[in-house]
Amino acid sequence: MTDIATPTLQLDPDRLFPIDPGVRALARELYEPVADAPIYSPHGHVDPALLLANEPFGDPAELLITPDHYVLRLLHAVGVGLGDLGRPRLDGRSEPAPDGREIWRILCRNWHIFAGTPVRYWLESQLVEIFGLTARPSEATADQLYDELSELLLTEEFRPRPLFDRFKIKVLATTDDPADDLAAHRALAEDPTFHGRVLPTFRADAYLDPSAAGWSDRLRRLSEAAGTSTDRYTGLIEALRARRRYFAEHGCTATDTSPADTWGEPLPDAEAERIHAAGLAGTVSAAEAVAYRRNLFYQLAAMSADDGLVMQLHPGVHRSHHAPSLAAYGTDAGHDLPAVGGYTEPLRRILNDFGTDPTFRLVLFTVDETTFSREIAPLAGFYPSVYAGAPWWFLDTPAAILRYRAAVTDSTGFYKTSGFIDDTRAFLSIPARHDMSRRTDAAFLAELVATHQLEPAEAQAIARDLVSTIPIDVFRLPTE
């Protein structure tokens, strides 16, 4: 494609604000007080070891391209091989490792394919606001940008900890296996030179499906961590409880569960024991595995009603849709895809049992935005325990955030929503993602002010609460 854009990157201060000049001015007034507010990130995937080690980041491609499935998927969609983007093969076949500079050239050569996407928004924000670069990525500027970035990444101010402080991150939640020893979290909490809180999040997905490959091996690892045998179903339940206590002792305030569906149906203990044994023997049927998974999902909800860990639910994703890519390059390579979701009927048993329990809290996320107004917001509009989670993954875009606000506000307002989550492994994109959310929320609130549905002072208070009070309260985050 012929490059018809300006040769320099320019971030308009009014980006994402409404077209109407008067409403745009209102959005600007609502945004400015929260533009530099501290970041509370209650759901993400940054490795805590990154902050503990505080080593310089790798080359620009290793930092911004290879680990980011948002970037990988669109480049792959135009014919670029995952191996050419630095993903190592896992199937035993050898491929020459691509040079980081060449990977960066691929991104810059294909810069036009990201036009209009949130990925472009995030990358441009990082290049300009974090690194202070002004050259627009293109085939002509690729080497210049690569050299400038590489030089900056060697400096002290671009190591993880100084950036953590610069980003004003108060709380950063990670995603962790129940068997993890949380050594990095513990070391960060005990380090007087580290500012901020990095909290583990308990994610037990790997233990829910007794038909999954490696399930028995994972049970053994969990058994060792918990000091409890998992040879029986009752032992697995006790091991999960024990690890939840361990996580809570290390600052955990929430769990994360991403099942194929949201049905939560308990089984009699005897039936669960029978299926558990079949799973260990390798004879479990598909129907039995589904029943066991749905039972364990219910049991995790019961545990949250007991210990107060906030239950995040992220269902309805076709994981690793392309089998050849999974075999060759593993998971998180860009081919997880949305599925149709459902909440009202599947969650009936859980919500009948725990939905009005003041200890229980359930945050519902979706990649099927049709469920926002049809199911999630109405549930949050009745059940004290239920909150409408922010647009996530494929819906983490300016347009989708505005649709979300329009879809959920009628039923549940602002204070039964979760606040923004960045859900990212790409550490440097965290401030760009939160800024995008703050701008779109300001745009939505400005429309309510302009149509005389909100007074300016109330809209300003909501804008502040959306980035602080709401995520702190919903996820029970520490404030000191």
Per-residue H/E/C for the chain: CCCCCCCECCCCCCCCCCCCHHHHHHHHHHHHHHCCCCEEECCCCCCHHHHHHCCCCCCHHHHHCCCCHHHHHHHHHCCCCCHHHCCCCCCCCCCCCCCHHHHHHHHHHCHHHHCCCHHHHHHHHHHHHHCCCCECCCCCCHHHHHHHHHHHHCCHHHCHHHHHHHCCEEEEECCECCCCCCHHHHHHHHCCCCCCEEECCECCHHHCCCCCCCHHHHHHHHHHHHCCCCCCHHHHHHHHHHHHHHHHHCCCCEEEECCCCCCCCCCCHHHHHHHHHHHHHCCCCHHHHHHHHHHHHHHHHHHHHHHCCEEEECCCEECCCCHHHHHHHCCCCCCCEECCCCCCCCCHHHHHHHCCCCCCCEEECCCCCHHHHHHHHHHHCCCCCEEECCCCHHHCCHHHHHHHHHHHHHHHCCCCECCCCCCCCCHHHHHHHHHHHHHHHHHHHHHHHHCCCCCHHHHHHHHHHHHCHHHHHHCCCCCC
Mean pLDDT of the chain: 95
Residue 135 is predicted with a pLDDT of 96
Give the model's pLDDT for residue 5. 65
Segments making up each domain of the chain, as ranges: 21-55+157-474, 56-156
Average pLDDT over every residue of 159-167: 98
Measured distance CA(360)–CA(179) in Å, rounded: 24
21-55+157-474 CATH: 3.20.20.140
In the structure encoding, which two tokens stand for residue 346, read together?
A: 């599947």
Q: Does the structure show a pLDDT above 90 at 6? A: no
Given this model, what pLDDT does residue 334 score? 87
The full length of the chain comes to 480
Is the pLDDT confidence value at 355 over 70? yes
What pLDDT is recorded for position 319? 85
Grade residue 4 by pLDDT with cuts at 50, 70 and 90: low
Q: What CA–CA distance (Å, rounded) separates 34 from 467? A: 8
Residue 255 pairs in a beta bridge with 202, 311
Q: Residue range 46-70: average pLDDT?
A: 94
Instruction: Indicate if the pLDDT at residue 264 is higher than 70.
Output: yes
480 pLDDT band, cuts 50/70/90, is: confident
Condensed to tens digits (0 to 9), the pLDDT of residues 287-317 reads: 999 999 999 999 999 999 999 999 999 998 8
Q: Is this structure's pTM higher than 0.75?
A: yes
More confident residue, 221 or 333: 221
Nearest to 234 by CA among 282, 285, 271: 271
Average pLDDT over residues 342-362: 98
The predicted structure's pLDDT at residue 1? 57
Q: Which residue has the higher pLDDT, 320 or 270?
A: 270
Q: What is the pLDDT of residues 412-467, one digit of tens each?
A: 999 999 999 999 989 999 999 999 999 999 999 999 999 999 999 999 999 999 99
- Quote the tokens at residue 273: 């024991």
**Intrachain domains 21-55+157-474 and 56-156 with the same fold:** no
What is d(CA 325, CA 89) in angstroms, rounded to the nearest whole number? 9
Q: Are 463 and 199 in contact (CB under 8 A)?
A: no
pLDDT of residue 317: 87
- Mean pLDDT, rounded, for 148-170: 97
Binning pLDDT at 50, 70 and 90, where does residue 339 land? confident
- pLDDT: is 276 or 320 the higher one? 276
Percent of the chain with pLDDT over 70: 99
- pLDDT, residue 94, reads 79
Model pLDDT, residue 318: 84
pLDDT per position as a tens digit, 79-116 = 999 999 998 888 888 788 899 999 999 999 999 999 99
Q: Which residue has the higher pLDDT, 3 or 231?
A: 231
Task: With a cut of 90, say whether residue 166 has pLDDT above it.
Answer: yes
Residue 2, pLDDT > 80, answer no
User: Which pLDDT score is estimated for 3?
Assistant: 58
Tokens of 26: 């209102």
Phi-psi label, residue 93: left if phi above 0, alpha if psi -120 to 50, beta otherwise: beta
CATH class of 56-156: mainly alpha
pLDDT, residue 91, reads: 82
Per cent of the chain over pLDDT 90 is: 88
With b for 16 or more beta-carbon neighbours within 10 A and e for fewer, the 300-331 pattern comes to bbbbbbebbbbbbbbbbbeebebeebbebbee
